[in-house]
Amino acid sequence: APGKRGPRSQPARSASEGIPAARTAAAATASRSLRRAAPAGGPSKGSSRVPRTARSPGTHRVLAVDATLAPRDPRAPGQFGHAVAVPEDKQEEAKSRWKEGNFNVYLSDLIPVDRAVVDTRPAGCSEQRVHNDLPTTTIIMCFVDEVWSTLLRSVHSVLSRSPPHLIEEVILVDDFSAKDYLKEKLDKYMSQFPKVKILHLKERHGLIRARLAGAEIAKGDVLTFLDSHVECNVGWLEPLLERVRRSRTKVACPVIEVISDKDMSYMTVDNFQRGIFTWPMNFGWRQIPQEVIEKNKMKETDIIRCPVMAGGLFSIDKKYFFELGAYDPGLDVWGGENMELSFKVWMCGGEIEIIPCSRVGHIFRNDNPYSFPEDRIRTVERNLARVAEVWLDEYKDLFYGHAYHLILKNLDVGDLTQQIELRKKLQCKSFKWYLENVYPDLEAPLVRASGLLVNTATARCIAVENNTLAFEACDVNNEDQQFNYTWLRLLQHGEACVAPAAAGGAPGLRRCDGRNPRLKWLHMALAPGRPQLTDHVVVEHLAQPACLEADPARGALRVGACDSASPFQKWRFGSYHVD
Ligand code: UD2
Ligand code: MN
């Protein structure tokens, strides 16, 4: 909306150690435009108790529980989510402490652990009604060497802004932190809150298996996962639980707002953002196009269906989570688990939603502040490859194809039998279904090259005429001559694909099917070990290299033994899409 664009966040520092930029949450958020949080919905008027006589039976107005509304010290730095500046004489100290958490740790320690934040919910949220019989939830927060004040602030924000009767417990899973203050000192501090339980893991599990350890002992009906550097906003919990109550296969995510890593201010983000991915499975946020918003008369409070979730913050029915096989426990340390759960949820009958009336701030950092037991890139790529192998079907080629610059080669992804069995048992839909129904607007990269496929020696082009494959004088304006070369290695014209023949035979047309290896062609740099055939169109499934060629005598198409020197085997597309 005009006038709503605020200061942009700093672009993510160009990734150190060659980490692909979009592989940190900070990179994913770098494209969001941020605004300082200012009261949006006006002061909330919701009461803090379930009214005895609700307006319609069984529901009440969403509770505005907020024990920080009258802060102990209204003038403390950072209060109400305001930005804080480092005093001149503390610059050095602040700088040297940055690496403790890869954000301004000095400032975090300066501001109250129970500071108030501005209610950033869109107008209308505080008037919404939720059911009186919402399910209870277990909050699961995993951390490794989290900054003390930040961890405390996360827990305080949960306790002070959630209706107590809905919080079964808060489980802090300490993923084998080395920091001393996260041992007895933390236990002692948290002992003042009977609902907070601490699970000290005896070895490093990584975020994924640490969450599983928390989930296994959870007693609530719903699991609510949070990172350990968040601030939950007013009224954040009930709208999430309301969605899960409505349907147990809904996975509800809050809008993730931004706590500045530099000045600790609480910033809101643009409305109407979905979680999406681009190849090779990088998470990102995308604005819903203005015309879609207008056409559907979308309101700021409307629930947004998401192809994928960011990963860190969501509520899910506990039984449903385990029915889905929870997370693949073969995923290590960090990364990819958000893709796994998102694909699994959608393909196996559930939905992922962002609930605009639920808002949680998160400190986005440019780099993980903890170390990885093994090489970071390898770990993340291996996780993603596991996800690709289990969930992407023939589209895994898009992942590998776009990740060619990464290590992937000779990567041991480990045993996948259980995950593949699980997918069968749950009778999940195909990735093709997911793309067509959940993420139909995934940007172009399905196509690698397009336009006319010109045989350079004869200036003739392939075409589809009356449902048969033809070979005729090229004409850029002829629709029949338009073909795509796809990531699935199909030569495609609408639903029709060029089908190879053995050497000596004539190619034909078949209905496209990305899973059929007998429809595939290698073009561009794809022919493995045969760089001399880059201009060629090579049949993929034959052991003896066979190539598409023009028969100059008859002006016809055929397949012949590949010959890197033959001009009749050289082909060129109108345009190549390199990304
Ligand atoms: C995002 C998600 C994060 C997770 C990750 C991909 C948000 C806001 N954050 O990255 O939740 O889905 O993408 O995997 O959506 N941790 C451990 N053990 C480890 C590593 C991390 O307990 O070995 C904890 C860590 O202390 C933190 C949480 O896991 O509380 C998520 O890690 P992060 O904050 O580094 O991830 P983030 O926000 O960059
Ligand atoms: Mn995080």
Tens digit of each residue's pLDDT (9 = 90 or more) over 500-533: 988 889 999 999 988 888 999 988 765 555 567 7
Q: If we measure between CA atoms, which residue out of 386, 440, 455 comes closest to residue 418? A: 386
Residue nearest atom 35 of ligand 1, based on CA coordinates: 368
pLDDT number for residue 544: 85
* Range in 91-95, 109-113, 446-450 with the lowest mean pLDDT: 446-450
The whole-model pTM stands at 0.85
Residue nearest atom 22 of ligand 1, based on CA coordinates: 143
Considering only residues 130 and 49, tell me which one the structure prediction assigns the higher pLDDT. Answer: 130
Percent of the chain at pLDDT exceeding 90: 73
pLDDT number for residue 531: 63
pLDDT number for residue 403: 66
Average pLDDT (427-450) is: 86
Give the Cα separation of 256 and 234 in Å (integer). 13
Residues, CB-to-ion distance under 5 Å, ligand 2: 227
pLDDT number for residue 503: 84
Give the Cα separation of 501 and 507 in Å (integer). 5
Average pLDDT (192-217) is: 98
pLDDT number for residue 39: 59
pLDDT number for residue 337: 98
From start to end of 364-514, where are the E strands? 447-455, 460-465, 468-473, 482-486, 491-493, 496-499, 508-511
pLDDT number for residue 409: 61
What is the C-alpha R_g of the chain? 27
Q: Tell me if 253 sits within 8 A of 353, measured CB to CB.
A: yes
Residue 314 CB partners (closer than 8 Å, separation 6+): 224, 225, 240, 251, 252, 253, 254, 352
Task: List pLDDT tens digits, range 398-436.
Answer: 887 766 555 556 678 999 999 999 999 999 999 999 998
Atom of ligand 1 nearest to the CA of 173: 22
- Per the omega criterion (within 30 degrees of 0), is the bond before 545 cis? no
Q: If we measure between CA atoms, which residue out of 207, 205, 208, 283 comes closest to residue 20? A: 283
Residue 23 CB partners (closer than 8 Å, separation 6+): 15, 282, 335, 380
Name the CA dihedral angle for 559, 563, 567, 569, rounded to a multiple of 10 degrees: 30
Q: Give Cα separations from 568 to 20, 60, 158, 476 (angstroms).
A: 41, 75, 69, 20
Pocket test for ligand 1, best of 139, 142, 150, 158 (most atoms within 8 A of CB): 142
Pocket test for ligand 1, best of 171, 227, 283 (most atoms within 8 A of CB): 227
Residue 445 reports pLDDT greater than 70: no
Task: List pLDDT tens digits, range 252-278.
Answer: 999 999 999 999 999 999 999 999 998
Q: Which ipTM did the prediction report?
A: 0.99
Task: List pLDDT tens digits, range 423-432.
Answer: 999 999 999 9
Task: List pLDDT tens digits, range 5-61.
Answer: 333 333 332 333 334 445 778 888 777 888 887 655 444 444 455 555 545 569 999
Give the Cα separation of 150 and 463 in Å (integer). 63
Structure tokens at 198: 């601490």
Residue nearest atom 15 of ligand 1, based on CA coordinates: 312
